[in-house]
Amino acid sequence: MSKKTVLSGIQPSGSPTLGNYVGALKNWALLQGEDRYCYYCVANLHALTVKQDPQDLHRRSFETAALLLACGVDPEVSTVFIQSDVKEHAELSWVLSCHTPLGELNRMTQFKDKSAKHADNINAGLYTYPVLMASDILLYQSDLVPVGADQKQHLELARNIAIRFNNTVGETFKVPEPYIPRVGARIMSLQDPTQKMSKSDPNPSGCIAIMDDPAVILKKFKRAVTDCDNSIAFDMENKPGVSNLLTIFSVFTGKTIEESVAYFEGMGYGQLKTAVAEAVIAELTPLRERFDELLKNGDYIKAVLKTGAEKARETALSTLKDVYAHVGLYLS
């Protein structure tokens, strides 16, 4: 059986949330294996859609790469690189922009959401970055793309672009499929469990950052919104706060939702919140320790990124040459 190629990226926007970890980073390490070849990039080009301090962006890009390694991504097995180190991402994005109807970009809901949050900087990159995302995916002939439920629209655009290009210009791209974890793909705010956990949550107690201190994590979980009846059951419609806590507990203990509900039988919400916090802390503490150790060895991280960029460029350039040939461009 041939290996499946996996591509995913993460923006260097500070310490990722628990939702980012559960929905993406935790799975990146699990996806590594004999039957898959993984490309993981720090998507610093995407970060430019909002205003950035240059030195801060450079530092966060480096730290995000270290975080990927701390989360278990093995550079001997997977290719880890900084997006801007592989110029083919930007080059393919221009070609694909010329093969993407305006109507498809107009339907991207995240542009409307981000425009509302960054009303002082509604730029063309914010509008067209789904095409850059499609380029990220298609450059590596990806079979699988780990995505959260809210990113399925962007992957669908990448699929549409690939199919259209193949049909009208020439067979070039694999059409990627989504990889969505069965449990924990969507972690909700601890203060408003009807909304996804986000660093932009107006209530800082609603969001757990994976670099939060254990005391902070415990305090935030103890403040988590539940309900009034004190019964522990999984019901996203009627008990979203309790259901969110059960989902987190399930992900961090390996128990099913049913096993988690049975585990808490006869207990109250205080015990539930403490147990969830302890399960999260137990997994994140060694991760933070590995991260701190890696940052002490900057030369190692630089070597990993240099090798990763070279490997990524080899594949990316092969795809770009094929694209250029089909559209009539010359690449020496």
Rounded CA separation 332/330 (Å): 6
- Judgement on whether residues 133 and 241 belong to the same structural domain of the protein: no
Residue 183 · residue 257 · CB < 8 Å: yes
Mean pLDDT (the chain) is 92
Residues 133/158, Cβ–Cβ less than 8 Å: yes
Is 197 a domain residue?
no
| The pLDDT value given to residue 202 | 83
Where does the pLDDT of residue 149 fall: very low under 50, low under 70, confident under 90, or very high at 90 and above?
Answer: low
- Are residues 126 and 253 both part of a single domain? no
Whether residues 276 and 228 share a domain: the answer is yes
Q: Decide if 191 is inside a domain.
A: no
Residue 169 lies in a domain: yes
Q: How confident is the model at residue 115 (pLDDT cuts 50, 70, 90)?
A: low
pLDDT interval class at 184 (50, 70, 90)? low
Residue 218, Cβ neighbours under 10 Å: how many?
Answer: 18
In a domain, 194, yes or no: no
Q: Are strands 177-179 and 144-146 parallel, antiparallel or unpaired?
A: parallel
Which residues have C-beta within 8 Å of that of residue 292, sequence separation ≥ 6?
A: none
Both 222 and 312 in one domain: the answer is no
Half-sphere exposure of 324 (CA within 13 A, CB side): 13
**Is residue 25 domain-resident?**
yes
First to last CA, the chain: 34
Domain membership of residue 196 (yes or no) is no
Pair 178, 219 in one domain: no
Q: Cα dist. 251→59, 84, 180, 186, 216 in Å? A: 30, 33, 14, 11, 20
Give the rounded percent of residues in the chain with a pLDDT score beyond 90: 74
* pLDDT tens profile 86-100: 999 999 999 999 999
Residues 176 and 271 in one domain: no
Q: Which of 5-9, 189-193, 327-331 has the lowest mean pLDDT?
A: 327-331
* Total structural domains within the chain: 2
Dihedral pair phi/psi, residue 144, rounded to 5° = -130, 140
- Looking at the structure, tell me whether residues 214 and 176 fall in a common domain: no
Q: Which residues are catalytic?
A: 114, 196, 199
Q: How confident is the model at residue 123 (pLDDT cuts 50, 70, 90)?
A: confident
87: containing domain: 4-184+298-327
Q: Does residue 33 form part of some domain?
A: yes
Residues 138, 180, single domain; the answer is yes
188 has which bridge partners? 196
**CATH, residue 222:** 1.10.240.10
179 vs 219 pLDDT, higher one: 219
Mean pLDDT across the stretch 79-83?
98
The confidence score (pLDDT) of residue 181 equals 60
More confident residue, 332 or 226: 226
Q: Are residues 116 and 157 in the same domain?
A: yes
pLDDT band at 304 (very low <50, low <70, confident <90, very high): very high
pLDDT for residue 14: 77
**Phi-psi map region of 254: left, alpha, beta (phi>0 left; psi -120 to 50 alpha):** left
Kindly indicate the confidence band of residue 118, based on its pLDDT and cuts at 50, 70 and 90: low
Whether residues 87 and 236 fall in one domain:
no
22 with 51, same domain: the answer is: yes
Give the model's pLDDT for residue 287. 96
Output the pLDDT for position 229. Answer: 87
Q: For residue 309, what pLDDT band results from cuts at 50, 70 and 90?
A: very high
CATH number, domain with residue 96: 3.40.50.620
Per-residue pLDDT tens digits for 203-259: 889 999 999 999 999 999 999 999 988 899 999 999 999 999 999 999 999 999 999
Specify if 66 maps to a domain.
yes
- In terms of domains, do 26 and 76 share one? yes
